[in-house]
Amino acid sequence: MDTDALRWFQQVADGATVTMVSELENVSQPGVSRALARLERDVGTPLLRRSGRTLRMTQAGAAFKRHVDALLHQLDDGLAAVDHLLGPETGTVALAFQTSLGSWLVPDLVSSFRRDHPEVDFRLTQVHDELVDSVLDSQQADLVISTVQPSSSALQRTLLLDEPLRLAVPSNHPLAANPQVRLADASTERFLVLQPTLLLRRMSDALCRAAGFEPQVSFVGDDVQTLRGFVAAGLGVAIVPASGDATLGSANGAIRYLRITDADATREIGMAWSTDRRLLPSADLFREHVVHRARSGHLPAIN
């Protein structure tokens, strides 16, 4: 059915004349009358009857109008929701991010963006390394911030920063007296590592192999925070990102974070999105904010 005809029927049923509807909607009077007649044909019975110079609802019209009111109310709510979504200052950004970036980088990006765009909402999702492509392909997220290079040609990625890796050691460890370390000097240590499916684990293994040894693994964990906690407990050493909550262990003196002098002891942090669909205005605005913040050197400092 023609939604204009439904709205005009609603207005006439509420007491407006065809002339008033015509003037309000900028449509000719015959055009309004023809639309109302088509609506009656679609319904299959008269909805309005003339009483003097006005139109009044028939019994069928009164029954029909209750549903028209509800339908148009829902339609208007839906149109308003779409307008809200498409507004660059009122939409929602679906952002996925790697867990280790959730304690420092993502909060900085979101809070700095919302200072200028306070009405934009965020739907935040933590994502494991192997799911970076899928959350974009399935449209669960508009943007993903991670250290993983997308494997799909339909995904575009921009580099935000290079994050150094550190060797976390207990504060009373013999290596802790030095600010930096060659991984070969830690070849006899017990290593606390992540699951083999995670990129940081693969990078750690590759660094150790390049240094001439296979790490002696004493614990395999699911997240970097657990590795830090076990290092603080004196259970081994771990290769961890330089940023994020690395300062937590340093603050209480339980952990020392040593700069690794070996080549390639860094990981790239980037932002990816799908090129198969257009970003909503609010998500595109956030993407521009992140890129500008990275290029202008305003991302959080890494110790």
Given this model, what pLDDT does residue 167 score? 97
* Domains, the chain, ordered by start: 3-86 (1.10.10.10), 92-160+267-295 (3.40.190.10), 164-266 (3.40.190.290)
Residue among 149, 147, 173, 174 at smallest CA distance from 162: 147
Residue 20 pLDDT grade (very low, low, confident, very high; cuts 50, 70, 90): confident
* Residues 6 or more apart in contact with residue 150 via CB below 8 angstroms: 132, 133, 136, 156, 157, 272
Given this model, what pLDDT does residue 80 score? 67
Residue 218 Cα distances to 56, 234, 235, 260, angstroms: 84, 12, 8, 21
The answer to which of 36-40, 98-102, 115-119 has the lowest mean pLDDT is 98-102
Given this model, what pLDDT does residue 178 score? 92
DSSP state, residue 150? P
DSSP state, residue 66? H
Single pTM value for the model: 0.71
Q: What angle do CA 132, 135, 140 make, to 5 degrees?
A: 150
* Rounded percentage of the chain residues whose pLDDT exceeds 70: 95
Tens digit of pLDDT for each residue in 139-194?
788 999 999 888 888 889 999 999 999 999 999 999 999 999 999 999 999 999 99
pLDDT above 50 for 91: yes
